[in-house]
Amino acid sequence: MHTLLRRFLRLIAFPALFLLLAFAGNRIFVRPDTFAVLTLRDLRNTPDVELVFVGSSVVRNHINPAIVRAETGKVTANAGIPCLSLPGALALTKELYRACSPETVVLVLEPALFGVNEEDIEAENILMPYLHDLSTRLEYYRNLVAEDHRYVDRLFLYRTFYVRSMAEMFRTVTMHLNPSAIDPSVVSQKDRAGHYEGNGFVRFSTEPCPENVLRRGFRREPVASDYRLRSDYISLLRQYRDLIEAHGSRLLILVFPNMGAGYLSSPGNLGYSLSLAAFCAEENIPFINFGWARPELLPSLDPYYYDAYHFGGDGVDLFSRALGRCLRLLADGQDISSLFYPDKWSFQLSLNPLPNVWLDRYRGQWDYSWEQTKDELPEPGEDQVLFLANANHLPGAVPLYAFAAVNPDGSETFLTDYAPGGMLVLDRAEVPAHLRVYARLEDHPELSPVSNDYPATP
């Protein structure tokens, strides 16, 4: 009997030590996100919170709890972790229920993540070391490796996100032992743009640069045959719904708005949102797609974007106010459908029909972002260069393109008139150092043309 017991103990000793090393190492050697630690600290210290938003950086950076509370009268907090998707949302929500019993949990989803097959490991790096419950950690790990099978990377996070100095390691350990000692103002001074305003909200002061974002960030993506939610995604959504109901809270699923060009360049942003709306209707889960908000509820946020997924400045408060207004109306039992476009057709017609254009040099390989088919491409001579212009635009619209050489003094010499097709062949010796393309729509002469450069505008 004693021999069997010793064998059993030996058998479990190695995996137990293996897990202990992983968990201990992740708590000591993983580089922390101080804003995330402050968010979790505030959640644990706000047991009376009534309304919680759960999601990625779109929650942390874009929802101002103070404004939402002023609109709804509810004590409000954010639970936002950068790059978070459904596996992390489940773990984070279990963590917040250790200290809070919110009336309503709003799960905020991003269209850009619907088609992603795995949660970014950065989210696990930020969240996993600060989860208190071992069973929550293990379930989070199981959900992650079921997606991507990265068993070692997901277990030993410090292999990738290691502390870079003894001082940083000491700071990490201090955050675990005494998170209440973190001074948000000091953190804000260390970060060039972010300022922690409390309750999980980080305000960024980065200047909006929508024109540069449009020139760099949005190219046409290939159209998939099917944008239905994956079965594993649906399973996680149901687990999340069951978790909320088991704690007596109400669940609302909200789709975060994209920059307008994102809906024209990425068909999945619209397709997956429609699939999610259908799922929520079948499961009787309240659902709001804020991307479809009418301007009387939320003016276009496009002028406030500083990258393809985040906006700042007054856009944050505009969005928070509109969000709070919707939640207040829902709590009062009012119908909010008139504040949103009723279908995808009316929504698409509300978008800028020609948000951006780009210019490429053809190097013998076709690109999916081009509207020109392989058969349409001319065969340039040995001493010639082919340039291709393309634009994001409403379906059925016909873009016209004009090419210009930009002179050293900034003046332009037009090489072509506006014409469809978007193709320019030049002798190699005549290729200007700075080439610019303009685009406008054939049936919308009242709209100003958009432009981009080759080499691309920084």
Residues 81-114 have pLDDT tens digits of 999 999 999 999 999 999 999 999 999 999 878 8
Could you tell me if 401 and 419 are in contact, meaning their C-beta atoms sit under 8 angstroms apart?
Answer: yes
Could you tell me if 59 and 104 are in contact, meaning their C-beta atoms sit under 8 angstroms apart?
Answer: no
Alpha-carbon torsion 35, 39, 45, 49, what sign?
positive
Three-state DSSP state, 220: coil
In one-letter notation, the amino acid at residue 193 is A
Residues 373-391 have pLDDT tens digits of 988 998 888 899 999 999 9
Please give the distance of CA 369 from its chain centroid, rounded to a whole number: 21
Residues 301-356 have pLDDT tens digits of 999 999 999 999 899 999 999 999 999 999 999 999 999 999 999 999 999 999 99
Average pLDDT of the segment spanning 11-20: 61
Mean pLDDT of the chain: 90
Better pLDDT: 149 or 96: 96
Confidence category of residue 4, pLDDT binned at 50, 70, 90: low
pLDDT at res. 86? 96
Span of 42-56, 194-208, 233-247, 329-343 with lowest mean pLDDT: 194-208
- Each residue of 29-60: b (16+ CB within 10 Å) or e? bbbbbbbbbbbbbbbbebeebbbbbbbbbbbb
> Count of alpha carbons within 13 Å of 273, Cβ hemisphere only?
25
According to DSSP, the β-strands at 250-255 and 435-441 are: unpaired
Q: Which residues lie below 8 Å from residue 100, measured CB to CB, with a gap of 6+?
A: 43, 46, 47, 49, 52, 77
Average pLDDT of the segment spanning 167-171: 82
Cα separation of the two ends of the chain: 73
Instruction: Give the tokens for residue 249.
Output: 């809270």
pLDDT at res. 1? 53
Confidence category of residue 32, pLDDT binned at 50, 70, 90: confident
Residues 179-205 have pLDDT tens digits of 887 888 777 766 557 889 999 999 988
- Each residue of 394-407: b (16+ CB within 10 Å) or e? eeeeebbbbbbbbe
Alpha-carbon torsion 262, 264, 270, 271, what sign?
negative
Could you tell me if 437 and 405 are in contact, meaning their C-beta atoms sit under 8 angstroms apart?
Answer: no
Q: Which residues lie below 8 Å from residue 114, measured CB to CB, with a gap of 6+?
A: 227, 229, 233, 268, 272, 273, 275, 276
pLDDT at res. 113? 83
Q: Please determine, for residue 291, whether its predicted confidence score (pLDDT) is greater than 70.
A: yes
Q: Which helix (H) or strand (E) holds 26?
A: helix 2-29
For each of the domains in the chain, give its residue range(s) and CATH number, in order of start. Answer: 22-348 (3.40.50.1110), 356-454 (2.60.40.10)
* Reduced DSSP (H G I as helix, E B as strand, rest coil) percent helix, strand, coil of the chain, to 5: 45, 20, 35
Q: Which residues lie below 8 Å from residue 301, measured CB to CB, with a gap of 6+?
A: 257, 259, 311, 315, 318, 319
According to DSSP, the β-strands at 250-255 and 287-289 are: parallel
Three-state DSSP state, 135: helix
Q: Name the residue among 57, 133, 125, 61 with its Cα closest to residue 93.
A: 133
pLDDT at res. 171? 82
Q: Which residues lie below 8 Å from residue 250, measured CB to CB, with a gap of 6+?
A: 103, 104, 105, 244, 286
